[in-house]
Amino acid sequence: MLTRDAGFDLASAAFSSFDFSGGAVVAVSGGSDSTALLLLLKKHFDRFHPAASLLAVTIDHALRAGSAAEAAAVAGFCAVRGIAHRTLVWTGPKPDTGLPQAAREARYRLLAQAASEAGIALVVTGHTADDQAETVLMRQARSADAGEPGLAGMAPATLHDGATWIVRPLLGCRREALRGWLRRQDVAWFDDPTNADTRFERSRVRADRERTAAPVEEMLALAQAAARRRVDLGRRAALLIRDHAACPVAGLVRLDPAFADVADREAARQALRILLAVIGGTTFLPPGGKTEAALAGLAAGGRRATLSRCVVDRRRSGVFLHRERRGLPVPCHAVPEMVWDGRRRITFDGGGSETVIEPAGPAVNGIVAKAAPPGLIRAALSAEPSLRRRKEGSDVPQGDDFFRAEPVLAPWRSFLPSFDLAPARAAAALIGASAIPDPPFCGSIGFEP
- 100 domain-assigned: yes
8 A C-beta contact, residue 172 and residue 1? yes
Q: What is the pLDDT of residue 208?
A: 67
8 A C-beta contact, residue 15 and residue 44? yes
Task: Compute the distance between CA of residue 76 and CA of residue 277 in angstroms, rounded to an integer.
Answer: 46
- 301 domain-assigned: yes
Exposed, middle or buried by CB within 10 Å (0-12, 13-18, 19+), for 91?
exposed
Cα separation values, 196 from 15, 170, 205, 321, Å = 29, 22, 10, 47
Which residues span the domain enclosing 320? 250-412
Could you tell me if 30 and 168 lie in one domain?
yes
Residues 6+ apart with CB under 8 A from 169: 14, 15, 17, 18, 37, 124, 156
Could you tell me if 263 and 212 lie in one domain?
no
Could you tell me if 280 and 336 lie in one domain?
yes
Q: CA torsion, points 409, 412, 415, 418, in degrees to nearest 10?
A: -110
Q: What is the pLDDT of residue 132?
A: 94
Could you tell me if 213 and 75 lie in one domain?
yes
pLDDT digits (tens, 9 = 90+) for 164-181: 999 999 999 999 999 999
- 144 domain-assigned: yes
Task: Compute the distance between CA of residue 210 and CA of residue 204 in angstroms, rounded to an integer.
Answer: 10
pLDDT digits (tens, 9 = 90+) for 248-272: 999 999 999 889 889 999 999 999 9
- The secondary structure of 357-408 as a DSSP string is EEE--S-------BSB-HHHHHHHHHTSEEEEEEETTEEEE--TTTEEEEE-
Instruction: Pinpoint the alpha helices (H) of 265-344.
Output: 265-280, 288-299
Q: How many domains does the chain have?
A: 2
Q: What is the CATH number of the domain that holds 100?
A: 3.40.50.620
3-state secondary structure 230-279: HHHHHHHHHHHHHHHEEEEECCEEEECHHHHHCCCHHHHHHHHHHHHHHH
Could you tell me if 273 and 217 lie in one domain?
no
Angle 34-42-32 from CA coordinates, rounded to 5°: 20
Could you tell me if 290 and 372 lie in one domain?
yes
Please give the model's pTM, rounded to 2 decimal places: 0.90
Q: What is the pLDDT of residue 216?
A: 86
Task: Compute the distance between CA of residue 95 and CA of residue 73 in angstroms, rounded to an integer.
Answer: 27
Total number of residues shown for the chain? 449
The per-type count for the chain, helices as H runs and strands as E runs, is 12, 19
Could you tell me if 128 and 263 lie in one domain?
no
- 442 domain-assigned: no
**Secondary element (H or E) of residue 117:** helix 99-117
Q: What is the pLDDT of residue 138?
A: 84
**Which residues of the chain fall short of a pLDDT of 50?**
1-8, 144-146, 392-399, 444-449
- 245 domain-assigned: no
pLDDT digits (tens, 9 = 90+) for 220-258: 999 999 999 999 999 999 999 999 999 999 999 999 988
